[in-house]
Amino acid sequence: MIFNNYYTHIVSILLLTLLLSGCGLSKLSSIQKEGDLEVVETTLEKNLKTLERLTKLGNKSLIVKTSRAFSSYSGFLEDRMEEAEIAGDFETADEMRNKAIEHYARSEMYAFKALSKSDKTFKNARTVDPDTFEKAVQKVKKKDVEPLFWAAYSVGRGISLQKHDPMQVIDLDRVELMMKRVLELDESFYFGSAHLFYAVYWGDRSPAIGGDPDKAKEHIDRVDEINNGKFLMSKFYLAKYYAYPKQDVELFKNALQAVIDAPNDIYPGEDAATSLAKARSQRLLSQVDTLFDLEIEEGEVE
């Protein structure tokens, strides 16, 4: 028995070494330093299947990395979806939306798989009764903040892309419970992105159904504090989830332009995040005329 366990361990190490040397995973490990978004997207896409094979080794860290990779790649699919919608190509938009939903589901699966190593409740995270789920979330320790975040994020994004499905939306409470726990454990994790979840939570709904852009701004401001103003995505969120709901066109334009004009190296070592914020800000700024009812200035028309 001891020999068999030792043999299995050695085989696992050899398999891991072979896979790491034969693919772009070494590049994937430092992808946040890559400023070319096309390279980032391609690297993620090419390594998804390899990562899935690696999860069969049962290593928790690899399982979490796989969840993050699927979720990150899904963000690019959402970008393609939005670009297609702006261009009026709704067939492509639907295709990208469906692909993003599928990839977020894979991310969700791996995140809960990682969490289930500490608590079996997460094996049935979507179907277990709400009280049991809440108790399991409250038991999560700081060492598991990463899979907890990616579980919440992937479920939340999947719901956002399927707002028409009440069976999906009903799980938003579970997402909120998980993100709340992330804030309790480590509010600075992944640039303080749990705060950005709450920016969407409060800023993406009208006040008539519980939205509150002022609360959204509080969370956005906290992200700026955590990152010393270097994480440009917070300004993108300020425009989209505060300035737009407030119909403050000047703040909307100024916030997005500030992202576009910021130095590419404003956040050393996080070039991918900076480039992504710039690309999304450029796209959102191009929609200002359709998002706001801009009044024609006096004297502009004879």
Q: Are 140 and 181 in contact (CB under 8 A)?
A: yes
Q: Does 116 share its domain with 210? A: no
Show which of 133, 149, 183 is a domain's final residue. Answer: 183
Tens digit of pLDDT per residue, the chain (302 long)? 444 444 434 434 444 444 444 445 667 778 899 999 999 999 999 999 999 999 999 999 999 999 999 999 999 999 999 999 999 999 999 999 999 999 999 999 999 999 999 999 999 999 999 999 999 999 999 999 999 999 999 999 999 999 887 777 788 899 999 999 999 999 999 999 999 999 999 999 888 888 999 999 999 999 999 999 999 999 999 999 999 999 999 999 999 999 999 999 999 999 999 999 999 999 999 999 999 976 544 344 43
The alpha carbons of the chain give a radius of gyration, in whole angstroms, of: 21
Half-sphere exposure of 159 (CA within 13 A, CB side): 22
State how far the alpha carbon of 45 is from the alpha carbons of 51, 103, 138, 151, in Å: 10, 11, 34, 20
Alpha-carbon gap, residue 202 to 210, rounded angstroms: 7
The DSSP code for 143 is: G
Residues 114 and 240 in one domain: no
Q: Are residues 220 and 81 in the same domain?
A: no
CATH number for the domain spanning 134: value is 1.25.40.920
- End-of-domain residue from the set 183, 213, 228: 183
Task: Of 201, 103, 184, 193, give the one whose Cα is nearest residue 144.
Answer: 184
Residue at which a domain ends, from 183, 199, 227 = 183
Q: Which residue range forms the structural domain that includes residue 236?
A: 187-288
- In angstroms, how far is CA 280 from the centroid of its own chain? 14
| CA 249/CA 188 separation, integer angstroms | 30
- Residue 245's nearest CA partner among 209, 277, 193 is 209
Domain shared by 168 and 283, yes or no: no
In whole angstroms, give the CA distance from residue 225 to residue 38: 30
Cα–Cα distance measured from residue 46 to residue 48, given in angstroms and rounded to the nearest whole number: 6
Q: What would the two tokens of residue 14 be? A: 């050899």
Kindly report the number of other CB atoms within 10 A of residue 38's CB atom.
Answer: 10
Q: Are residue 46 and residue 116 in the same domain, yes or no? A: yes
Q: Mapping DSSP to helix (H, G, I), strand (E, B) and coil, where does residue 125 land?
A: coil
Q: In terms of pTM, does the model score above 0.75?
A: yes
